[in-house]
Structure 1
Amino acid sequence: MVTTPRRDAPADDVLVDGLLAAVAEQLDQPVPAGLEQVLRRVHRHRFLPDRIWQRDGSGGYEPVDRATEPDRWTAAAYSDEPLVTRFTDGLPSSSASMPSMVARMLLLAGLGESPPGPEAPGARVLEWGAGTGYNAALLCALVGDRRVTTVELDPVLAAEAQENLKATGYAPTVAVGDAADCRPPGGPHDVVLATFSVDHIPPTWLTQVPSGGRIVTPWSSAWCTYGTLALTSHQHGRAEGRFHSFASFMQMARPGTDRCGPAPGPAARGADARQAVRSSTTLSPWAVAGGDLDTEFHIGLTVPGTAFAWDTSGEHAPTRLHIADTANSWATVDHDGLTSAAFTVTQAGPRRLWDEIATAHRHWEQLGRPGIDRYGLTVTGPTTTVWVDTPATAVTAF
């Protein structure tokens, strides 16, 4: 039975109305009744620390303190933007997701279209990544506390989320575990939601949902962190679904690993430069790493394990694109600052990374330059196949 969500201390209705308007704009439709109800009842500011960080418009972050800037802090709490809640080693390591992204993921999971009611039990939901607890509170308001399990890798974050949830009157199951191989209590779950991005579906996730269940997760690759995947589970460990062109989330952390870091350049690691092969290309490096997310998404899927970084220091060339993988292969593409008709390519290592990227880009053009929404993914046992438009048009498997 779905419980009636509790209201905490009321937020400024004007701020909530503004947030709902911003979410509706991103959805390109009115906020569905179920989502509107829970977004009004679950107040985002109750799940934020006294110091948060907003993007500063220049690629960095600036702090906002509740004690010294209460109005700005509250406005940020009800803005439709992600808010960093923790830094680790100088890098963002935890955040409160953009509310419109949360809303879109809930809708993809089949939640939030209609107001919750007592006439039928809600879906059982497993959330990977408790974070601040805000998303878990929304889930509790939608399907009932007893039907929500949220799992967090970081014990400190898990405790903070549980405290936030308790303070606002919600009591889901909060567990500590690694999303890659954890089997939390309360299963099977009709819906599995991740609040971080992955580059593959961990096999244990497929064991958490029965046939007909949904898995919704942001997606990432070494080349491009963008997109959301919504899968429907089928029998015998098979799942299939499509990508959607929204969301850029932090990558899934594992115990003992860094959450994120810069792309390695050949100076940092890679094959000996004396073994490098030089050539030229007419394919612009900006065509594959210049911010076109459709292109970058395709390359991320089809040239696995490959990352890039731009060098505009002028030390080697006016502009250089560094490319590297995790197996000691690297490539550079140099622009001489004068002509865009040809670029100098240097490659070394077991893989010819630029050749792979050029082939992937050519294939993308042959496919009709598909956008992210045309891609789908099928998981069958240990094999994952990515396709365009239909499963008959496979573009890669891993």
Structure 2
Amino acid sequence: MTRPRHEEQAALRGLLRSVTGELGHEIPDEWVEALAAVPRHRFVPDLIWVGEDNEPLNRADDPAGWLSAAYANAPVVTQVNDGAEPVDGEVWPSSSASMPSVVVRMLQDLDVHEGMKVLEIGSGTGWNAGLLAHRLGDTRVTTIEVDAQVATAARTALARSGLHPEVVCADGGAGWPPGRPFDRIISTCAVNRVPTAWLDQMRPGGVLLTPWDNPWIGWGTLRLTVRDGRAEGWFLPYGAFMLMRGHRSGLRIFRDVVRDEHVPDESVTELDPWTVAGQDDDAQFAIGSRLGDVWHARQHDPDVDGVAVRLWLATTDASSWAAVDWDGSEDTKRFTVWQYGPRRLWEEVKEAHRWWEEHGRPGAERFGLTMTAGRQWVWLDGPANPVVLRR
């Protein structure tokens, strides 16, 4: 056995231990077998981006570092800026190899069985499709990727591993009509609205699994079961994925929302902005679900006296905005608020936070979604309790 092969096997064993620890239980045997037969490193390109600053890492320059990244229980950025050259040095992730423990968790929740047909939305590196193809067979798996270069790389990586599921370069939001009906649909990109095409292409009793994104936070995984022309199910409290390209808004605060001629109203709040836009994913998920069409962004050191961080809020139609200022002190009790437009967004945020507390601070697992051909809505504890504040 050569040393590189030994290193790869050691890295795989380490990954399996890490995933098991993250899941809190043993990985099912069928997925352990798939993970061993479809090694992750074969699907990670030679050039990746690592760290919070998305620094490039080339396999030829640092093979040990590259292998470590390939087998870490963490996402790996495999493309930036949709494959285009960065403008003014701005680098942002546009495709990745998902976190292995999340991959395994999603495959478990997908609950596939022999003979099922699966449609995957978002091929990425091809690794997830490879795991499914190993489990079900090539002819039972179709994977769709909107980016032609990414699709080609995924097809090549799959073939190199002896796997040949159907790889289609197309907009996954339209599903894949030639292959319907599917028993399972799994998306590896987040959506803020479930495409009705997916519902139309599923077999009765089928399961649809997709990461979720509301404008306030991209977090949570939605698991729907299809019956009688509708889909219904619950959110699962894990998963943060890149948004499907067709669902991106591309809004920027200073380019699209705030104008020099805007004269905002000033007020003061005692609600800490980081209570609603901080580290509490459950709070953010609930508030985002309640608001429906409000997003936020942070601005550090906004060049305003006495302000360390400014929290910006805006509607997805860019008609209203708000800003909340924090002076950087841990004991700050009052925060300055600026609001502009027909809606008082900070007042809506306060109402949404109050609603969340009054309902026992529910986590994502208490929320669900129902969709029909013409409507879909998020609810709390049951379909009769829709949560959106505005209609």
TM exceeding 0.5: yes
Q: 1:331 aligns with which of 298, 305, 322?
A: 322
Shift of 1:379: 1.1
2:213 corresponds to which of 203, 211, 220: 220
**Alignment partner, residue 19 of structure 2:** 23
Partner SS state of residue 378, structure 2: strand
Correspondence for 1:193 among 181, 186, 191:
186
How much has 1:240 moved relative to structure 2?
Answer: 0.9
- How many residue pairs match? The answer is 374
Contact kept, 8 Å, 1:182 with 1:204, in 2: the verdict is: yes
> Is the aligned partner of 1:245 residue 2:233?
no
Q: 3-state SS of the aligned residue for 1:395? A: coil
Of residues 159, 169, 175 in structure 2, which corresponds to 1:166? 159
Shift of 1:143: 0.7
Pair 1:45 & 2:66 matched: no
* 1:35-184 equivalent positions in 2, closer than 5 A: 35-55=31-51, 59-88=52-81, 89=86, 90-111=91-112, 121-184=114-177
Give the drift of 1:272: 6.7
Q: Partners in 2 of 1:195 and 1:10 — Cα distance?
A: 31
CA offset at residue 305 of structure 1?
2.6
Query: What is the CA–CA distance in structure 2 between the aligned matches of 1:93 and 1:353, rounded to whole Å?
Result: 30
Preserved contact between residue 122 and residue 142 of structure 1 (Cα < 8 Å)? no
User: In structure 1, what residue type is equivalent to 2:287?
Assistant: I
Give the Cα separation in 1 of the matches to 2:382 and 2:151: 40
| SS of residue paired to 2:253 | coil
2:66 alignment partner AA: W
1:205 maps onto 2:198 in alignment: yes
Kindly indicate whether the alpha-carbon contact (under 8 Å) linking 2:237 and 2:364 is maintained by their aligned counterparts in 1.
yes
Counterpart-to-counterpart distance in 2, 1:367 and 1:376: 15
User: Using the alignment, how far apart are the partners of 1:92 and 1:37 within structure 2?
Assistant: 30
Which of 368, 374, 377 is matched with 1:376 structurally? 368
Q: TM-score, normalised by structure 2?
A: 0.89
Q: Is the 8 A contact 1:54 1:82 kept in 2?
A: no
Map of 1:304-343 to 2, 5 A cutoff?
Answer: 304-316=292-304, 317-318=306-307, 319-327=309-317, 328-336=319-327, 340-343=332-335
| Distance (whole Å) between structure 1 residues aligned to residue 145 and residue 49 of structure 2 | 21
1:78 shift after superposition: 1.4
Q: CA shift at 1:11, angstroms? A: 7.1
Unaligned ranges ≥5, structure 2: none
- CA shift, 1:266, in A, is 5.7
- Contact kept? 1:11, 1:43, Cα under 8 Å: no
Q: State the one-letter code of the partner of 1:324.
A: A
Partner residue in 1 for 2:273? 285
Q: Would the alpha carbon gap of residues 150 and 184 (structure 1) be closer, same or farther in structure 2, given more than 3 Å must change? A: farther
Pick closer, same or farther for the CA change 1:10–1:150 going to 2, 3 Å: farther
* 1:129/1:153 contact within 8 Å kept: yes
What letter corresponds to residue 40 of structure 1 in structure 2? A
Contact 1:109–1:215 (Cα < 8 Å) also in 2? yes
Q: Whole-Å Cα distance in 1 between the matches of residues 7 and 30 of structure 2?
A: 19
User: Which residue is equivalent to 1:6?
Assistant: none
Q: Report what 1:344 is aligned to.
A: 336
Matching residue's letter, 1:313: D
Partner amino acid for 1:109? L
Which structure's residues are more often helix, by fraction?
A: 2
Q: Is 2:251 the counterpart of 1:269?
A: no
Stretches of structure 1 lacking an aligned partner (at least 5 in a row): 1-8
Provide closer, same or farther for how the CA distance between residues 345 and 165 of structure 1 changes in structure 2, counting only shifts above 3 A. Answer: same
Return the alpha-carbon distance in structure 1 between the equivalents of residues 180 and 196 of structure 2: 15
Letter in 1 for 2:268: S
Is the CA contact 1:277–1:348 (under 8 Å) kept in the aligned structure 2? yes
Q: Mark the CA change 1:273 to 1:281 in structure 2 (over 3 Å): closer, same or farther.
A: farther
The answer on whether the counterparts of 1:385 and 1:394 sit within 8 Å (CA) in structure 2 is: yes
Q: Return the letter of the residue paired with 1:191.
A: R
Name the CA distance, whole Å, in 2 between partners of 1:14 and 1:340.
50
SS of equivalent residue, structure 2 residue 368? strand
Secondary structure, counterpart of 1:394 in structure 2: coil
For 1:306 and 1:48, the matched residues in 2 are separated by 35
Percent of aligned positions with the same letter in both sequences?
42
